Amino acid sequence: MQRSTVFPAFQQVATLFIAAVFFAVIMAPAAGAQDAASVPSAPSAQMQTQKAVPSKPQPFDVKQYANPQSQFPNPLSPYKARRIAPPNLANTPRIDQLMRDGKLYISMNDAVALALENNLDIAIARYNLNIADTDVWRAKAGFNTILGVNSGVVQNTPGGGVGGLGAQVGSGTGGTSVAAGGAGAGSSGLVQSTLGSGPLITSFDPIFTSTFQLDQNRTQTVSPFSAPFTDSHTATWDFGYQQGFHWGTNLSVGFNNTRGTASPLSIYQAFETQFNSNFRAQVTQHLLQGFGFAANTRFIQIAKNDRELSDVAFRLQITTTVDQIENMYWDLVFAYENVRVQQEQLAFAQKTLSDNQKQVEIGTLAPIEVVRAQSTVATNQQTLTVALTNLQLQQLLMKNALSRTLVDPVLADAEVIPTSTMELPAQEPVVPIQDLVNDALAHRPELAESRINLSNTAISNKAIRSSLLPSLDAFAYYQGTGLGGTLNPSYLCTTDPTKCTGQVSPATSYSGALGQLGDSTAPDKGVGLTLSIPLRNRAAQSIQVRGELEYRQSQLLLQQTENKVRIEVRNAQFGVQQNRASVASAQAAVDLARQSLDAEQKKYALGASTSTLVLQNQALLTQAEVTLVSAKAAYEKAEIELDRAIGLLLDHAGIVIADAERGEVTHAPNIPHVVARPADQPAPTNPPAQPQQ
């Protein structure tokens, strides 16, 4: 009998249990896929396979992970892991289009476009945009912390004065320069900011809970008035719902159900199968601490600001990388021009040596002049070797900066030929310094970052002030209970009604018990207040004062950054003026050296000079030409620095940030102060062999 009465309850609960297991089975493949994606089982094989894929455009879709999965139309989507595709390590087709006869011919505009598509510093920083998006999701869900975003600049590309070849860089995934949004850190990461402190927040995402349980219990007894064993069979299915709201309101709902049987039955037990149902709904509203939008939506506002911060930081990353690429390009042009000048000097020295040898053979020149000429040739060959190896280094650095991988042997062995050269304006434009400073204050990403961080601190301090208040909550609740079941035939009130007075007729079914929850058969309802006052309140005071101190400190840091920007703009303008003067001085020195060499050659032809003096004048001309090329490169770099200092480097170069985000350039850059290299200028070659004696 008892087993038959328990069986329907077992069926109901078993059905719910099977549904839950089925749901878990559905979700298992997603979890397995996540595990498989996260375990680097064979990284080398995977990377080799990916590298072997031909170049093809794969733009980075910034919006692909900008929003969480919705439950519509697939209600299981929020519970499935989303697999992030591995990074594409194939170079974009642009690099193949610039390859001719085993050489990579690139203009300044080509170099910047390739960097926007392939440079790994930019590719690493690009992920920060979606990382910031996930923090917005987390904050909207009602989490009491945010993970923050990295607003540092990645500078792991060697060359152009960074990456161990001229300057130091910082450290950290997502940004090698130390900078973080949404969190503060001090020495060794031991100092934490008050940012985000304040009253606790209840989850804004609804939370549904449930419990399904079957219980069978046999109890021994030593009472002479009962059977030696008592058996009970209980089925429980409970449900709960909880959600917080932006005003500091919390809602909790509980629905609990129990179906039980016991044997042997007592005459005092009304039901042989009993249903107990309970429903309780409660609303709680914070009245002091935690009241209002400011305290409860602070993480959402901070996360949105951090998303804006990631955009600003990405613009700073592009500015830094483009600045680096342009500097590297001028380093390559200088190395290219230096090799050309050194080759011309060596060719002149070798011709002089050949002429001296002929004159010694016919007896018109002392043999010592041949020895002097041989020494000059050897010195010039050594200088040319240094220039060539420097050119090869600059070519390697440039290829590394403009590609995702150098595994392609054609690209790895290719020479890089710059097709752009320097252009100096006939007259330097005069821009008032205050206009340049105003441009910098309006466009520098560092200042925008500081202002966003200052805004985050102000938002956080509003919530911190709320935590100073006592905790006063108003609540209201309603609870209904229901009771029903199958009547016990041996129940006392059934066999002898005279002994039972004032009895309520119980429901005889589960649905009848549920109906009692809403008809106020047995209600429990009320309202109330809860008050909690922390005496002395020192902990909250310390956080509030510290938050205000950090805010004032951030204001000073912003002012300090503005002062630094003003100095940088003026210094950059001074650099342009100084390097322009250096170019004029170097050009005059070249003109003088060339005329001096021409005069010395004429004197030598008349017998009034020596080959040694001619070679010395040729060396002076070479040095003057090298100085001129170096001065022009320094001038171009000074122009780049001025554009960076005023925050308009990308605007002047015609770079579209959306192209950099996708990693696909659709609007060709247009770098100023650049002209095409003359077509008749030969590329540098290996030094000719020294003539045999």
Residue boundaries of the structural domains of the chain: 207-294+468-537
Q: What share of the chain is helix, strand, coil (3-state, %, to 5)?
A: 50, 15, 30
Residue 244: burial class (beta carbons within 10 Å; 0-12, 13-18, 19+): buried
For position 111, what pLDDT does the model report? 97
For residues 641-663, average pLDDT: 95
For residues 513-534, average pLDDT: 89
pLDDT tens-digit readout, 85-130 = 899 899 999 999 999 999 999 999 999 999 999 999 999 999 999 9
For position 422, what pLDDT does the model report? 83
pLDDT tens-digit readout, 200-242 = 999 999 999 999 999 998 888 777 767 788 888 999 999 999 9
pLDDT tens-digit readout, 248-290 = 999 999 999 999 988 877 767 778 888 899 999 999 999 999 9
**Which of 46-50, 92-96, 304-308, 432-436 has the least mean pLDDT?**
46-50
Parallel, antiparallel, or unpaired for β 249-263 and 523-532?
A: unpaired
Whole-prediction pTM: 0.84
Whether pLDDT at 8 is above 90: no
pLDDT tens-digit readout, 503-523 = 656 666 778 888 888 787 888
Whole-number Å distance between alpha carbons of 572 and 431: 13
For position 423, what pLDDT does the model report? 80
Cβ atoms 663, 60 nearer than 8 A: yes
Higher-pLDDT residue of 84 and 427 is 84
Whether pLDDT at 682 is above 80: no
Whole-number Å distance between alpha carbons of 229 and 282: 41
Helix (H/G/I), strand (E/B), else coil: 299: helix
For position 684, what pLDDT does the model report? 57
Cβ partners under 8 Å of residue 30, min gap 6 = 79, 80, 81
Whole-number Å distance between alpha carbons of 155 and 322: 12
For position 408, what pLDDT does the model report? 87
Percent of the chain scoring above 90 in pLDDT: 63
What's the mean pLDDT when you consider all of the chain? 85
pLDDT tens-digit readout, 21-68 = 444 444 444 444 444 444 444 444 444 434 434 455 578 888 888 899
Q: How many CB atoms lie within 10 A of CB 593?
A: 21
Nearest Cα to 622, choosing from 339, 352, 330?
339
For position 669, what pLDDT does the model report? 95
Nearest Cα to 593, choosing from 334, 427, 382, 344?
344
CA 210 distance to own-chain centroid: 38
CA 383 distance to own-chain centroid: 45
Cβ partners under 8 Å of residue 623, min gap 6 = 593
For residues 177-198, average pLDDT: 61
Q: What are phi and psi of 257, to 5 degrees?
A: -140, 140
- Looking at this protein, which amino acid is placed at residue 387? A
Nearest Cα to 173, choosing from 197, 147, 196, 191?
147
Cβ atoms 96, 408 nearer than 8 A: no
What's the N-to-C CA distance of the chain in angstroms? Answer: 121
Whole-number Å distance between alpha carbons of 122 and 544: 39
Whether pLDDT at 339 is above 50: yes
Higher-pLDDT residue of 486 and 232 is 232
Whether pLDDT at 16 is above 70: no
Cβ partners under 8 Å of residue 398, min gap 6 = 106, 111, 159, 328, 329, 332, 416
Cβ partners under 8 Å of residue 361, min gap 6 = none
- What CA–CA distances, in Å, run from 605 to 254, 362, 602, 609? 111, 17, 5, 8
Parallel, antiparallel, or unpaired for β 103-106 and 415-418?
A: parallel
Whether the bond into 73 is cis, omega within 30 of 0: yes
Cβ partners under 8 Å of residue 186, min gap 6 = 192
Q: How many CB atoms lie within 10 A of CB 601?
A: 15
Whole-number Å distance between alpha carbons of 546 and 464: 10
Helix (H/G/I), strand (E/B), else coil: 193: coil
Cβ atoms 446, 557 nearer than 8 A: no
Cβ partners under 8 Å of residue 445, min gap 6 = 312, 313, 315, 316, 319, 647
